[in-house]
Amino acid sequence: MDFAAQPKPAAALGGVGSADGKIAYPPGVKEITDKITTDEMIKRLKMVVKTFMDMDQDSEDEKQQYLPLALHLASEFFLRNPNKDVRLLVACCLADIFRIYAPEAPYTSHDKLKDIFLFITRQLKGLEDTKSPQFNRYFYLLENLAWVKSYNICFELEDCNEIFIQLFRTLFSVINNSHNKKVQMHMLDLMSSIIMEGDGVTQELLDSILINLIPAHKNLNKQSFDLAKGLLKRTVQTIEACIANFFNQVLVLGRSSVSDLSEHVFDLIQELFAIDPHLLLSVMPQLEFKLKSNDGEERLAVVRLLAKLFGSKDSDLATQNRPLWQCFLGRALNEMWKCQNMLRSHVRELLDLHKQPTSETNCSAMFGKLMTIAKNLPDPGKAQDFVKKFNQVLGDDEKLRSQLELLISPTCSCKQADVCVREIARKLANPKQPTNPFLEMVKFLLERIAPVHIDSEAISALVKLMNKSIEGTADDEEEGVSPDTAIRSGLELLKVLSFTHPTSFHSAETYESLLQCLRMEDDKVAEAAIQIFRNTGHKIETDLPQIRSTLIPILHQKAKRGTPHQAKQAVHCIHAIFTNKEVQLAQIFEPLSRSLNADVPEQLITPLVSLGHISMLAPDQFASPMKSVVANFIVKDLLMNDRSTGEKNGKLWSPDEEVSPEVLAKVQAIKLLVRWLLGMKNNQSKSANSTLRLLSAMLVSEGDLTEQKRISKSDMSRLRLAAGSAIMKLAQEPCYHEIITPEQFQLCALVINDECYQVRQIFAQKLHKALVKLLLPLEYMAIFALCAKDPVKERRAHARQCLLKNISIRREYIKQNPMATEKLLSLLPEYVVPYMIHLLAHDPDFTRSQDVDQLRDIKECLWFMLEVLMTKNENNSHAFMKKMAENIKLTKDAQSPDESKTNEKLYTVCDVALCVINSKSALCNADSPKDPVLPMKFFTQPEKDFCNDKSYISEETRVLLLTGKPKPTGVLGAVNKPLSATGRKPYVRSTGTETGSNINVNSELNPSTGNRSREQSSEAAETGVSENEENPVMIISVTPAKNIDPVKNKEINSDQATQGNISSDRGKKRTVTAAGAENIQQKTDEEVDESGPPAPSKPKRGRRPKSESQGNATKTDDASKPLGKGRKRAAGSQEGPGGLEAGNAKAPKLQDGAKKAAPAERQIDLQSLKLLRRHSLNTDLADFKCGIAPARWLLMPCP
């Protein structure tokens, strides 16, 4: 439908009339104004409705006559009328007006059209009540809109998506079981025309459809599910591409923040497959990718999903997608065996508890084990009672326990297992009870733990098949696979089985085949074979001496000259299966330690891997000689020297194959230091202190330990990641956790805000993996609070999921282990609050305790964690967290107890936390169930009679934090990428509206605030720019604004600076980072305007401050704000005169037009890390030899 540029009365939209100034009404209808009563207005409108209803498109005279009336009915007086009957009648008139005047709409203003269609959409809510006397009119409105396809007019509007989303949500919400088929048909007609005739379906519009397929919504409103199902069936060819894009974003790219439905992807796939498999034509191959995921839980979820899809009635998925079917079969077996092995171990531990004397501790442990077993059975709630009953039977029947022990023993064959299962079932059967739920549950448990698939015979058969492939006598080519692929796949299967059925491998024939694999050139095949020997070869030395004599030299060769993975497995294999392992390992250690040569780094990696694992596995034998290797070679020769010059391509990350051998060797050297210390498990020689200082220096120097600027940006990223991961690894050992200082912990934490996307991503994954296994102390969970400032939505969403998972696991662990209550300080998730408060108080970006922008960042970090913790008020946890924050205000910062500024910042963060907690929960004012204990490492003991009732944030600030104006969008708002000034490496925090469900504090603390529209991230491919490049920029010319008043226009585009506001980018074209290019280091043009030298470089997030002045650029007050690495820039972005729509840089505030400020210096508020002198990194070898901390590694405080 076109927007005709036809002549209109001068004030038509205001409701005045035709050429003679009057509105023509149908015969018998008097003037409709606000001067008449509502009843009279309704009476007159009904006559108008009848008139328009009877008109057709050919009535040209009437169309011209009633045009002023049509415009009058679209005035605010009618669209905002408080009477619902008036609004309904007007909506019916407007719907007929669109029909009559089609294809030309009588309303040419886009804003007016938007108001009209949002108004009509609101009236459609009346369809919900079919018993209403006005229902027929509501039905007529729907029918008219669907028949005319009136909403298609909105395609011409820029913000049509808002109208369509509102329409779809309305129709899905009003449909119910009292509606007949005609109502559903008209709804389908209306929505399908929008999908099929539009340019595409946005993610939010797709969400409004898909949400009705989620089981929770499906059960609440079956009719909305049927409506969505019908819509998808009708539009399958159009909407399939949009669905494929959604699943690609979530499943392949990991961008879970693109939709609130991301956590329901597997439920959605199952429902969509049932509706029409064609909806998932492009999605099914993506599931093969997820089957190979490193996340065990995710892998298992995909296996369960595919089991339902392949097993559904009339499914031909297996024939249509054979690669997925084959991948599924392999993975399903893997997951089944892993689950079986885990459940067998739980049953074995339960039987061990039966052998111990009865005690309260024993009963508690047994109860926890029973609950764990019940979780692995169908319907865990009911299974708990049956498992308890079965445990009582086991306690009374010793013979039954013996049969169960045989069933789970490693030597049990499939035939023996069958006999055991039958015997146990016979004993528990009750002839008088034909249907026995208890027996059915026990049978299910026995089937899950019995070795009904794999035993020694099965392994032998698999090995014979693999031998045929090795000998070339198999029919691999006929099966469509090469012999090499068959061998590799067979070994991968055997490797999985070696974990779950190790004793089934013990035969000369099996090991001979594995020895053949070790001699093959395929590195992956050899690695898998070594792993199998490691898992299964415990009796080789005593039972198979010939295999032993052949295996040892091969393992030695792999440890010295194999790949790094082979070397690791070889060392562990020797340690696991040989009694004279000390001799064997010494024969590897001594020649390797003597032949280390830093001048040939490509030959260093495998030796360093072997030496590190040897020192970890046999510390008593090798800890002392390793100290000499560390001091004389690892530190002095390797880490403290840059022999090669890195490629200056500006990239922040490079693929593994492009990383220089020297840097790979340095990364392995750092890992060697950690493995050496983890083997010793003590700090008697103070080597751990020295190592921690070295790792801290690596982080402070940005990865360039020598500070010779010879190393490339991407190599520096690798070394920062290695250093941060090393500190985190050492923290998993209690003796080293105790000596990690708060400053070192804070440096480690800041790696999660690194400027390089891959560093942040990998570090966060390592952090989560260690936390979820309860290997790291609770304080490390506080690091995730810093993710609130990550510029990439997917990283924030991932961090939130990690928090949810960790909190859930800790709470569940406490429930399942009653004895854990003694360790609440290290387990209870709420105890992360003090660590988080302390970490944020020492945030390098938090330099001024009264700066509202900085406090807003602090609030967002606090809420990122608190929002997850406060989902439930378990055991009055809200009051408990509030009490912790209040108690901290009664202490001092143990890191710098005598510094008033440090304590003020600590108390300020406490007040912000209290502000957030109080605004979120009305339950926080209750009495705390217990008095919290604060960690003495971070807080001093409260002084007697010390009272701190001072409020460190003003009431005005409090209001701004909770309800203030939203934070400005980034320079490239859609992808959260910053504009860089000279020498900067910033990354900015995106606006709250982009962060998904938990970042926008203002909206979440205010329940009335609805979900806001998301901005879709652009792909790098769309701009033709690759990720992680330094200078891929799009040059956009911006005309500088003239005569800008520096007082009235404090927030202006930095490219529009006048003579009185000299910017670092003065005289240049505006450079904008490419969409999707996360790690970009931008440089300013080499040619700088003579009137304005470049601004000084600002230090990066969590790095040492650059004290050297890099120019005499004109500075302003805001320019001295800290710039965080991995943080938002000090000056946010905001639309200014002549600015870009994507978001403009916010110029520093002016002071007296041209006042010069001192060069910007980033104060890293890690008290003993304020200054690390460049020359301080020349190592002192004696420090490692005698265990004294290197004097020049001491991070001296500023004078």
* CB 850 within 8 Å of CB 957: yes
pLDDT of residue 821: 66
Place of tokens 């010879």: 710
CB neighbourhood size of 85 (10 A): 18
pLDDT of residue 483: 81
Residue type at 1022? Answer: E
Residue spans of alpha helices (H) in 898-1055:
900-920, 955-963, 1001-1005, 1020-1023
* CB 1125 within 8 Å of CB 1100: yes
pLDDT of residue 924: 62
Q: How far apart are CA 626 and CA 678, in angstroms?
A: 13
Residue spans of alpha helices (H) in 738-848:
742-749, 757-772, 793-816, 824-827, 832-841
**Who contacts 703 (Cβ-Cβ below 8 Å, separation ≥6)?**
711, 715, 716, 717, 718, 719, 720, 723
Question: What's the token pair of residue 898?
Answer: 């005598």
Question: What's the token pair of residue 86?
Answer: 């008036």
pLDDT of residue 167: 94
CA angle (176, 179, 183) in 5-degree steps: 110
Burial 928-953 (b: 16+ CB within 10 A, else e): beeebebbebbbeebeeeeeeeeebb
Cis bond leading into 7, ω under 30°? Answer: no
Place of tokens 């705390």: 928
Burial classification of residue 128, based on how many CB atoms lie within 10 Å of its CB (0-12 exposed, 13-18 middle, 19 or more buried):
middle
Greatest CA separation found in the chain? 114
pLDDT of residue 1130: 32
> Which residues on neighbouring strands pair with residue 1033, listed in sequence order?
1073
Tell me which residue of 790, 857, 797, 869 sits closest to 832, measured CA to CA. 869
Q: Is 266 helix (H, G, I), strand (E, B) or coil?
A: helix
- Helix or strand holding residue 1073 (H, E): strand 1070-1073
How far is residue 1151 from each of residues 853, 1045, 1060, 1148, measured CA to CA in Å? 19, 12, 10, 9
Supply the pTM of this predicted model: 0.63
- Sequence length of the chain is 1199
Tell me which residue of 51, 52, 134 sits closest to 88, measured CA to CA. 134
Q: Which long-range contacts (CB under 8 A, 24 or more apart) does 851-855 make?
A: 851/1121, 852/957, 852/960, 852/961, 852/964, 853/1121, 853/1132, 854/1121, 855/908, 855/912, 855/953, 855/957, 855/961
**pLDDT, tens only, 405-414:** 888 887 788 8
Question: What's the token pair of residue 336?
Answer: 């089944």
Q: Is 217 helix (H, G, I), strand (E, B) or coil?
A: helix
Question: What's the token pair of residue 596?
Answer: 């280390």
Place of tokens 């995730």: 784
pLDDT of residue 433: 72
**pLDDT, tens only, 296-310:** 777 878 888 888 888
Question: What's the token pair of residue 608?
Answer: 């360093």
List for the chain the helix, strand, coil content (%; round to 5): 60, 0, 40
Tell me which residue of 777, 785, 786 sits closest to 739, measured CA to CA. 777
Tell me which residue of 1179, 1101, 1198, 1182 sits closest to 693, measured CA to CA. 1179
| CA 174 to mean position of chain CA atoms | 35
How far is residue 41 from each of residues 18, 53, 90, 457, 625, measured CA to CA in Å? 21, 18, 11, 90, 99
How far is residue 993 from each of residues 142, 309, 544, 757, 1009, measured CA to CA in Å? 33, 36, 66, 21, 11
- The stretches in the chain having pLDDT less than 50 are 1-21, 966-1199
> Which residues on neighbouring strands pair with residue 1071, listed in sequence order?
1035
Q: How far apart are CA 986 and CA 977, in angstroms?
A: 9
* CB 763 within 8 Å of CB 1137: no
Phi then psi for residue 917, to 5 deg, are -65, -45
pLDDT of residue 964: 63
Phi then psi for residue 1177, to 5 deg, are -100, 10
Q: How far apart are CA 416 and CA 48, in angstroms?
A: 88
pLDDT of residue 993: 35
Q: What is the CB-side half-sphere exposure of residue 316 using CA atoms within 13 A?
A: 6
